[in-house]
Chain A
Amino acid sequence: MKQAIGKLLWWFEERLELRTSLWTVMRHPIPRDLRTQVGWLYVFGSTAMTLLVLQIVTGIGLGMVYVPSAGEAYESLEHINYNVELGWMLRAIHNWSANGMVVLVVVHMTQVFLMGAYKYPRELTWMIGVVLFLLTLGMAFTGQVLRWDADSYWGLGVGAAMVGRIPYIGPELVELMLGGPSVGADTLSRFFALHVFVLPGLLFTSLAVHLYLVVRKGISEPPKPDDLVDPETYIEKYEEKLKTGDPFFPDVFLRDAAFIGLTLLVIVGMSAILGPDGPGAPPDPTLLAVEPLPDWYFLPAFAVLALSPPSLETGIILIAPVIIVAVMFLFPVFAGKGQRSPRRRPVAVLTVIGCFLSYCVLWQLGVQEPWSPHMTAWSGVPVPTHMIKGRTPKELQGAAILQEKTCRNCHALDGLGGERGPDLTEVATRLTRDQLIRQVIQGGGNMPAYGKEMNRFEVEALVSFLETLKPEGYASAESSVVTDRAD
């Protein structure tokens, strides 16, 4: 029996010759330096790749039950969530694994950047890696679109508005992107084709080149300070190291195996506990009481769009991404030699810290959205009782007007309400009566003018209420302009 199996295997081996092809690749030597704890930094790429495979597997499953039609996609998602056996779990895994893939790709890139692994002779590996990063983001965005809900619908509107800003050909590109004059069935179907055929095809092709280069050029050894990369001598030195190297499989792969296992456990756990993401409100163009938000990793871009000055905005939308991608793509060509250790590359370390800090700050702002009016604050947020206790009827009328005229959507009282404009809790200590009247009627400083929307009695009542808004014992604001007083 054993002999028969051996014979059968040999029959295949004679034809496939895997021992001299695949097996040698699996056993390719890895520098011994990875034996120390630093080896744990080399597990992110293989884990990201595993998640890609997981995305394909779960994606095929979802493809069997999802209906990519604008009229039915939303219902089919509900169907998957509630009717299909373990459908909710598959959607959850696909979602959390996608999140994990974005995170791991970024972590992998950061590690490669900090350890100078993109330097000679691995510049091209990095460049293909940048392509893989962009394709991953492309998959994330197109995947969001397939979650055919209000966020998806209005997100496409945002995408179209950005594309529409491209000079001259903007309107044509919008029609190409949407597959017609507006968001509809042809839009969803083309994003489905992108998400399921085009981008995965490109991803796998690029990944094949990336892996070929990784195996061909070998994994970079952990950097040592002052161990300079010199294209004249590097290959020779590296090959010397490989003579005492460990085989990738199974020795070095053990760490990858452990980290991949841990990651899969985390994703299964998150999926089971947190469940799938959405769909949210239905993609109905006539339901306007929605607040569209991109998935979390795109929130910083969302923040940048709120904070950039209008005059620079089109430039920031259209040119900045091109510059960022070009720099990411090309810098190994210009910085492909010399120091690899982060201990000797303070600028590189600062760049990483700067990028992550900016990302986090913008993300935090994107979550908070201080620039957005709180659309329901005018009718839904109470006026703090101490502000209306003991007020005259006129002042109380003013408090009612403050609510009625939707001021609270942008102005907070005691921290409750919108943050677009200043908190009015102590406004009387900052603005005089005349300044308050002028501000209400004329607006200015990013506040709309209410002159046409309020009669003078309403303005009078509102301002008399605002004049009471100051802490106990504080004086009212006084004009710095000295005028002749009658008394």
Chain B
Amino acid sequence: MNSQSGEPPTMETATTRRGFMEWFSWALLGLGSVAMAIPILGFFLGPIIKPRADEWVDFGPLADFPQNSTRLVDVLNPLRGANDGMTGKVAAYVRRIEGETFQIFSTHCTHLGCPVSWFKESGLYMCPCHGGVYYEDGGHASGPPPRGLYEFEHRVEQDRLMVKLGHLPTLQDPGSAHVSGKNS
């Protein structure tokens, strides 16, 4: 047995070695935690790290929309997930003013998002929740809504009406028409 290797280390080497081990242990724990936290946090923040933009949807041939009238159109939400079932559908009111001039409205009331119903008899949209009412052109008619109906961007392509939608419109993130500054 070599007596030297069995000897306790001197105070000095012990402190530095211990100090290093202490520092190293904490650093290792910190590094491991950060490395683990990044993907986990990233997962939870996923919906905002990689937001999905609205997409164009075919609303059907122009002939489906009589001039100067409003009707409800059901489509599949282009941003729907594989397991969305019926919630993967989305509806929008299409108002054909004339020719290729349209207004596409979200069905969500701008007050708190309840579904508005269209009454062609009086040319009004009415909301059952808190009594928001809108005119035919989406403008605010009465009740608590802070603004007119949300609108979606549209274009006509080979005699078919195309509408850009997908996300749930809210006050600070309204429909695609407002983002492009068309009707806002």
Interface residues of B in 118-138 (CB under 8 A from A): 119, 121-124, 126-131, 133, 135-136
* Across-interface contacts of A186 in B (CB, < 8 A): 47, 81
Interface residues of A in 145-185 (CB under 8 A from B): 153-154, 157-158, 160-165, 170-172, 174-176, 178-185
Is the beta-carbon distance between B166 and A182 smaller than 8 angstroms?
Answer: yes
A184-B114 contact in complex given A161-B170, A174-B173, A286-B74, C-beta closer than 8 Å: no
* Across-interface contacts of A351 in B (CB, < 8 A): none
Docked Cα-Cα span, A149 to B112, in Å, equals 18
Docked Cα-Cα span, A183 to B168, in Å, equals 8
Interface 0/1 of B84-97, CB less than 8 Å to A: 11111111000000
Is the beta-carbon distance between B48 and A175 smaller than 8 angstroms?
Answer: yes
* Across-interface contacts of B119 in A (CB, < 8 A): 378, 406, 409
Is the beta-carbon distance between B130 and A448 smaller than 8 angstroms?
Answer: no
Is the beta-carbon distance between A183 and B79 smaller than 8 angstroms?
Answer: no
A71-B83 contact in complex given A165-B171, A180-B47, A378-B121, C-beta closer than 8 Å: yes
Stretch at the interface among B11-19, B26-34, B142-150: B142-150
Is the beta-carbon distance between A288 and B117 smaller than 8 angstroms?
Answer: yes
Is the beta-carbon distance between B131 and A164 smaller than 8 angstroms?
Answer: no
Is the beta-carbon distance between B122 and A372 smaller than 8 angstroms?
Answer: no
Is the beta-carbon distance between B170 and A288 smaller than 8 angstroms?
Answer: no
A181-B51 contact in complex given A305-B130, A378-B121, A406-B119, C-beta closer than 8 Å: yes
- Shortest Cβ distance from A447 into B: residue: B142
- Any B CB within 8 A of the CB of A348: no
Residue tally, chain A, CB below 8 Å to B: 67
Interface 0/1 of A174-216, CB less than 8 Å to B: 1110111111111100000000000000000000000000000
* Across-interface contacts of A69 in B (CB, < 8 A): 83, 85
A448-B142 contact in complex given A372-B129, A406-B124, C-beta closer than 8 Å: yes
Q: Main SS of chain B's interface residues?
A: loop
Min distance, Cβ A448 to any Cβ of chain B, angstroms: 4
Interface size, B (range): 35 or more
* Across-interface contacts of B144 in A (CB, < 8 A): 305-306, 308, 310, 313
- Any A CB within 8 A of the CB of B62: no
Is the beta-carbon distance between A448 and B83 smaller than 8 angstroms?
Answer: no
Is the beta-carbon distance between B171 and A176 smaller than 8 angstroms?
Answer: no
Interface 0/1 of B152-163, CB less than 8 Å to A: 000000000000
Is the beta-carbon distance between B87 and A373 smaller than 8 angstroms?
Answer: no
Is the beta-carbon distance between A182 and B79 smaller than 8 angstroms?
Answer: yes
Interface 0/1 of B29-59, CB less than 8 Å to A: 0000000000000000101100110100000
Which of the residues A74, A185, A371, A447 comes within 8 Å of B84, measured between beta carbons?
Answer: A185
Is the beta-carbon distance between A372 and B88 smaller than 8 angstroms?
Answer: no
* Across-interface contacts of A283 in B (CB, < 8 A): 86-87
- Shortest Cβ distance from B115 into A: residue: A288
Is the beta-carbon distance between B121 and A284 smaller than 8 angstroms?
Answer: no
Docked Cα-Cα span, A158 to B113, in Å, equals 5
Which of the residues B141, B168, B171 comes within 8 Å of A449, measured between beta carbons?
Answer: B141
Is the beta-carbon distance between A70 and B129 smaller than 8 angstroms?
Answer: no
Which of the residues A165, A172, A181, A446 comes within 8 Å of B143, measured between beta carbons?
Answer: A446
Is the beta-carbon distance between A184 and B84 smaller than 8 angstroms?
Answer: yes
Docked Cα-Cα span, A290 to B52, in Å, equals 29
Docked Cα-Cα span, A170 to B107, in Å, equals 20
* Across-interface contacts of B21 in A (CB, < 8 A): none
* Across-interface contacts of A406 in B (CB, < 8 A): 119, 121-122, 124, 126
Is the beta-carbon distance between B128 and A291 smaller than 8 angstroms?
Answer: yes
A176-B45 contact in complex given A182-B167, A310-B146, C-beta closer than 8 Å: yes
Is the beta-carbon distance between A160 and B170 smaller than 8 angstroms?
Answer: yes
- Any B CB within 8 A of the CB of A17: no
Is the beta-carbon distance between B130 and A371 smaller than 8 angstroms?
Answer: yes
Is the beta-carbon distance between A181 and B52 smaller than 8 angstroms?
Answer: yes
Is the beta-carbon distance between A161 and B112 smaller than 8 angstroms?
Answer: yes
- Any B CB within 8 A of the CB of A273: no
- Any B CB within 8 A of the CB of A473: no
Docked Cα-Cα span, A189 to B128, in Å, equals 28
Docked Cα-Cα span, A373 to B117, in Å, equals 11
- Any B CB within 8 A of the CB of A49: no
* Across-interface contacts of A448 in B (CB, < 8 A): 122, 124, 133, 135, 141-142
Docked Cα-Cα span, A309 to B38, in Å, equals 44
- Any A CB within 8 A of the CB of B10: no
Is the beta-carbon distance between B142 and A164 smaller than 8 angstroms?
Answer: no
Is the beta-carbon distance between B146 and A70 smaller than 8 angstroms?
Answer: no
Interface residues of A in 277-326 (CB under 8 A from B): 282-286, 288-292, 302, 305-306, 308, 310, 313
- Shortest Cβ distance from A162 into B: residue: B112
* Across-interface contacts of A154 in B (CB, < 8 A): 113-115
Is the beta-carbon distance between A174 and B168 smaller than 8 angstroms?
Answer: yes
A185-B142 contact in complex given A164-B171, A178-B168, A450-B122, C-beta closer than 8 Å: no
**Interface residues of A, Cβ cutoff 8 Å to B:** 69-72, 74, 153-154, 157-158, 160-165, 170-172, 174-176, 178-187, 282-286, 288-292, 302, 305-306, 308, 310, 313, 371-373, 375, 378, 404-407, 409-410, 420, 443, 446-450, 452-453
Minimum-distance CB pairs A-B, first 9: A71-B85, A164-B170, A448-B141, A181-B167, A157-B113, A161-B113, A171-B173, A185-B83, A306-B130
